């Protein structure tokens, strides 16, 4: 049941540049959208969210864009920093659970 797809398993970006992580979903019932970040040996940490009534939400260097008609979510990190190197998951609250994508490994090179 692949409701969520993060098609890029990994992404490598130079420090200071923009990182763009993408996520596609199929379930039109999803109404709220999240990004989580995960460092090795730690649990996922909530990063940023967006409601379906918006198409953009900004929090410092992180911006999430939502294209509901395309069922596409993206996370922009500008400027990227080495400390941003982590696994990024898109996630969707559905009932009482979160449905996660498989994750994208981001490496920011200094």
Contacting residues toward another protein, per CB under 8 A: 4, 31-32, 36, 41-46, 49, 51, 89, 93, 95-103
Q: Which is nearer to another protein, 63 or 104 (CB)?
A: 104
The least distance separating another protein from the CB of residue 6, rounded to whole angstroms, comes to 8
- Measured from the CB atom, is 32 or 109 closer to another protein? 32
Q: Least Å distance between CB 96 and another protein?
A: 4
Residue 106 and residue 101: Cα distance in Å, rounded? 14
Q: Which is nearer to another protein, 37 or 84 (CB)?
A: 37
Query: For the chain, what is the total number of helices (H) and then of strands (E)?
Result: 0, 11
Residues 32, 10: Cα–Cα separation, whole Å: 24
CA distance 93 to 110: 35
How near is the Cβ of 110 to another protein at its closest, in Å? 26
| Residue 74 half-sphere exposure toward CB, CA atoms < 13 A | 12
């Amino acid at each position: 049941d692949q409701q969520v797809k993060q098609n890029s398993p990994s992404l490598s970006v130079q420090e200071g540049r923009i990182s763009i992580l993408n996520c596609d979903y199929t379930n039109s019932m999803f109404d709220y959208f999240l990004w989580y970040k995960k460092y090795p040996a730690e649990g996922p940490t909530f990063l940023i969210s967006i409601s379906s009534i918006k198409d953009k939400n900004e929090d410092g260097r992180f911006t999430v864009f939502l294209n509901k008609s395309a069922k596409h979510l993206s996370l922009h990190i500008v400027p990227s920093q080495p400390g941003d190197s982590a696994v990024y998951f898109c996630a969707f609250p559905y009932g009482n659970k979160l449905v996660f994508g498989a994750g994208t490994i981001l490496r920011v090179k200094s």
